[in-house]
Amino acid sequence: MITLLALRNPEPEYARTRHNIGADVLRAFAESNNFPAFKYDKFLKAEKTISTIGDHDVQLLLSGTYMNESGQVVAASKLTPEETIVIHDELNVPVGDLKISYGAGAGGHNGVASVTSTFGTAAYTRLRIGIEPNHPVTGDARANFVLKPFTPEERQKIEDNIKTFTAALITIIKEGRDTAMLKYHTK
């Protein structure tokens, strides 16, 4: 079974923040592909739904832990890196763009670092959704930046590209990561 895991902070005050864009994308994916409603699974520490995409059984997980503890969902769900696609925000990609990666470092993203640590490898697929600021952000300012909502202009860029994000996930599932990289990294 292929698992799509969206990293997020689960509390309502973090909804629609830059850091939770992975959850927004996964919800849009679930809706556009007619998945059943998400239900919280206390043993997996995540909201979960399962359906099929083509010939593939697909499980969607919305992390129920804080971002920095995302590896707990990986461990509780007994996920394998080969069958997992992690969806998350990315400071080093322009707002509204996407980047598909495999085997890449965490780049300062503590949620990704937690997943990588639990897997014991960075050899898993990631859909990175761009939230890059239009000004340099370092140190504590990074944390403050990612925990704020998008500006109206940024949110519009995200909304304009949500179908592209969900289509990229479909391509990864049906045709593989390499095909998706060729298709979505070429503009």
Domain extent, residue 97, equals 2-184
Q: What's the CA gap between 82 and 93, in Å, rounded?
A: 24
What CATH number has the domain bearing residue 43? 3.40.50.1470
Q: Which of 19, 88, 109, 135 is catalytic?
A: 19
Mean pLDDT of 135-156: 90
Cα(62)–Cα(83) distance, integer angstroms: 16
pLDDT digits (tens, 9 = 90+) for 81-131: 999 999 999 999 999 999 999 999 999 999 999 999 999 999 999 999 999
Confidence band (pLDDT; 50, 70, 90) for 186?
A: low
* Residue 177, pLDDT score: 97
19 annotated active-site: yes
Q: What is the domain count for the chain?
A: 1
Q: pLDDT (tens digit, 9 = 90+) per residue, 61-71?
A: 999 999 999 99
Q: What is the pLDDT of residue 9?
A: 97
- pLDDT at residue 133, rounded to an integer: 87
Sequence length of the chain is 187
What pLDDT was estimated at residue 141? 87
Distance between CA atoms of residues 21 and 17, nearest Å: 7
